[in-house]
Every structure is written in C-alpha cells, then in structure tokens.
Amino acid sequence: MNHQSVLIVDFGSQVTQLIARRVRESGVYCEIHPYDKAVAALASVKPAAIILSGGPASTTEDESPAADHALFETGVPVLGICYGEQTICAQLGGKVESGHHREFGRAEIEVTKASPLFEGFAKLGQPETVWMSHGDRVTAIPPGFEVIAVSAGAPFAAIADETRKIYGVQFHPEVAHTPRGATLLRNFTHRIAGLTGDWTMAAFKDEAVARIRQQVGKGRVICGLSGGVDSSVAAVLIHEAIGDQLTCVYVDTGLMRSGESDQVVSLFRNHYNIPLIHVDASKEFLGGLAGVSDPETKRKIIGKLFIDVFDKESAKIDGAEFLAQGTLYPDVVESVSARGGPSAVIKSHHNVGGLPDYMKLKLVEPLRELFKDEVRVLGVELGLHPDFVGRHPFPGPGLAIRIPGEITPEKVTVLQQADAIYLEEIRKAGLYDKIWQAFAVLLPVKTVGVMGDARTYENVLALRAVTSTDGMTADFFEFPWEVLGRTATRIINEVRGVNRVVYDVTSKPPGTIEWE
C-alpha cells in the first residue's frame, strides 16, 4: 500500500488498539508495533507521524520500556499518551516520580496555552472532561517543552515542543470517556502532521485484489468458511480477485447456530456462484470433544480438527497451494504482543503466524490489516447485503465456548434452539442492530423448578448481550424488561431441558468478549 501512515508504538496498554481505531476513523492508515521493534518498523511503515501508547510500567523502574531515540530523530511529529508522555519526559531531560497523587477515571483539564493539538476544545481556562489512568507523575518537563494543559492531579497534563512537534498528554484521548479525544487525535494527524486522510475502503479493496493476484498467480486457493462475516468477506474478496481459482470449504462442526449451514451453502453456491465443498464433520468434532471440559483444551481440539479437515480436503483439489483465512488486525497485534500477556491464550484457536509444518499450504490473509468494523464496510463495498455484514460476531469454535463443561449433542441442540429464540425476539423488538453481540450460554448448572404440577431438574440458561464500538471493550445491553420476559417465557415453554433463564449484566474490560 502507498498511503500516508502513522506508526503506533505499543508499550503494553490495554487500549492501544483503540488508538489505531480512532486514527483510522479519520481516514488515516496506521500500524501498531511493539516498542522494541518500532525502529525496524520505520522502514516498512514510513510514518508521517508517531504515537507512543500508554502502558502498565513505570519509567522510574530499572529496565522499564523506552522509546528508541531514533523515533525522536525522524523529524515527524510525535505524540505520547500517558506512559508515552512520561517516557518522553524521562528520556529527553525531564523527570517522572512515583508516589505522588494518582489519577484514575474521569478528570477535568484546563487548556492553558493555545496549541493546534487542542483546536476545537473549550476556551482557555474552561474545564474539559478527560479520562486519566496513571500512578506516576511528571514533575519536570524537558528543555524546549511548555505546559499547554493542567489538571488537579497533573500539573503537566499536556505538554508541547511546538518547534520539534513533540507532544505529550497524561490522559487517554482514545477512549470514549474523553469526549473530544477523537478531535485531539485528528488535530495531531491532520493539523500537525498534515495528513489528508487517504485511507478508504474502496482503495483498500482495489489494492487487496491486486495483492491477492500477485501472491497467488495461477495457483488455486482453498478458503475455510466458518459462516461468520470475516471468512465470508475474505472469500468474496478473493473470488473477485481470482474467480474460480478459489474453492471454499465449509466445515459443519455440529457447533453452528440453528440453520447456519443451510444459509452459508445457499449464499455461496446459489447467490455468488462460488465453488463450495460442504463437509459434514459434526461426528468428528462432537466425538473429539466428548468428555472434555477444559475450555482451552476444547479450543485446541477444534483447531486441530479444522486443520486436519482442511488438509484432507485440500488434497482433493488439484493444484491447491494456498489456504485463505479471515485473520483480522487485532489477531495479528495480539499474536506478536511484546508484553507477554494473555494473547497466546486468547488467540489459541487461530492460526495467526503460520500453519503446522506438515500442512503444505501457504497462507492468504487479505483482511489482516483490518479491524472488525472495517471488514463490515469492506463487505458492503463488495456488494454483500448490509443485513449479512451486520450480523453479530460468531466465534470460530462456535457453540463449544458457549457450553462450559462437557459438550454433548443434546446440550448443543438445547443451546441452538434457545439461541434461535433469543435472536428472533431481539429482531422482532427492533434491537438487533443496537446490540454488538448477543448469545445464549448453557450453564453447567441444574436447578429444581416446578412446571405445571411437576417438579423439574433441568439446566440454567444465561442470556448475554453487549454494546461495543470496537469489539475490544463492552458493556451489557439494558434490555426492556418486557423483551427479556417474553424471551425467557418462550425458551422455558419451547426448549425442553431448560427451566430457568438468567441475564448476564457483566461489563467487559479490554480483551475478549466471548464467554470462556
């Protein structure tokens, strides 16, 4: 790609990906790279601006993460966020101390000096709401810098070296709790760095088609369809690039939503006329999962069976050289995370980073630069119906992660029926598009109840619905009681094996939104 771009240097913040989302929303392409690989990324990204993320470390500690000085010598504007500001101060001649007043949560800043960074904010001296999350405190700023905003707990809430175009903010502009945060980031990329915002999905589609053709040549591609939006968009994009050189394989694991398999087969065979192999592997998957309760073990079993099925099917396709996957950018970022956190566990069911050595296929991952909502925009650009691309996310392991404990065919049937009723009632109420993800979970708990004149001892079913703008943070959806009541009544009456329904009102911090 040949776009103006921003390099985001990751110091381990849970919301680094939100920075990228906000930057891309303004039409600017960006990439996230770990702090210890940032200098190497300069050559590939060719950034017109650099953003240093927040992070959990303290610059006052030995061997704390630091920005390579080469980043400050590129001549392009630099913005440090939270830890990013602190490392700017610690490295360029200022001072950071621990043990001072901490700030966590909402706070108010006052812009004390006019700066292009705060264009469109409140007038000087007027309060502006932001989100703080820091334990250390900047106590001295480097030579050449000046204070441009303060807060009650941070006398250096924002600093600037306007000559070198290096800026630091102690708060987090990337989160929704900072109302004008997107404006600040746009000011940095457009006003200060002079970017025009040439990142569009139409341009991405044309570039992706060209890249696929160049990578594949005359070869054949096998694409694994999961029934979800990501793999479906990837398949349609690849088909546009190489036509009948693509063969899709839909593996029916027996863990899909009710009616999912019929919908997928009909869409790709009848509507798009894309060659499709439908493999009913439900016996293999349910057999492989029999007696297994550990969620991580279940994921690994499912992942291995997927690979085995694809390896077997690809051997039947003459000249198959490539395997296409719907890998997204968050998968890539988490798989190469420098902070050694939970990413390996979160993404254990993906093949990010390569395939097993014995599998003689090369990966085609046309969506690996996109976030989830960008994939939806691409789907519409490709002509997919908005109702399809607007479907709620469905996990690769399917209903396996929505049945904690041992999986049996009977449990799968119960969950499919209950989940179908739940989604039907949400659509009837006109709430589907207001919810980012909704699903039912069959809990490994039974309870005594009375139905009619008889005692029952059956399963508890949990309903979950969350709102989200990015798929990385989420809050529970505030259902109207009448919708929940109607849904619960239908499930109790129509699904044998459930005698109690509960609604999960747990909020989710940054990380995976799935149940297990």
Spell out a b/e string for 397-423, using b for 16 or more CB atoms within 10 Å of the CB, else e.
bbbbbbbbeebeeebbebbbbbbbbbb
The Cα–Cα gap between 83 and 65 comes to 10
The Cα–Cα gap between 413 and 256 comes to 10
Coil, helix or strand for 391?
A: coil
Structural contact between residues 309 and 251, judged by C-beta atoms closer than 8 angstroms: yes
The Cα–Cα gap between 76 and 47 comes to 8
Structural contact between residues 349 and 303, judged by C-beta atoms closer than 8 angstroms: yes
DSSP conformation letters of 177-218: TSTTHHHHHHIIIIIIS-------HHHHHHHHHHHHHHHHTT
Structural contact between residues 470 and 330, judged by C-beta atoms closer than 8 angstroms: no
Maximum C-alpha span of the chain:
81
Nearest to 59 by CA among 92, 79, 83: 83
Q: Which residues contact 271 (CB under 8 A, 6 or more apart)?
A: none
The Cα–Cα gap between 477 and 48 comes to 39
Residue 466 pairs in a beta bridge with: 437, 476
Report the half-sphere exposure of 385 (CA within 13 A, side-chain side).
Answer: 7
DSSP conformation letters of 254-316: S-SPTTHHHHHHIIIIIIS---EEEEE-HHHHHHHHTT---HHHHHHHHHHHHHHHHHHHHTT
Coil, helix or strand for 470?
A: coil
Active-site residue among 3, 33, 134, 172?
A: 172
Is 30 an annotated catalytic residue?
A: no
Structural contact between residues 398 and 416, judged by C-beta atoms closer than 8 angstroms: no
The Cα–Cα gap between 127 and 479 comes to 34
Active-site residue among 174, 260, 321, 334?
A: 174
Q: What is the DSSP letter of 508?
A: B
Is 3 an annotated catalytic residue?
A: no
Q: How many CB atoms lie within 10 A of CB 203?
A: 14
Is 514 an annotated catalytic residue?
A: no
Q: In the numeric block, which tokens belong to residue 495?
A: 């699904």
Structural contact between residues 168 and 85, judged by C-beta atoms closer than 8 angstroms: yes
Active-site residue among 25, 31, 82, 349?
A: 82
Q: Let me know if 336 is exposed, middle or buried by CB neighbors in 10 A (0-12, 13-18, 19+).
A: middle
Which one-letter amino acid corresponds to residue 63?
A: E
Active site amino acids: 82, 172, 174
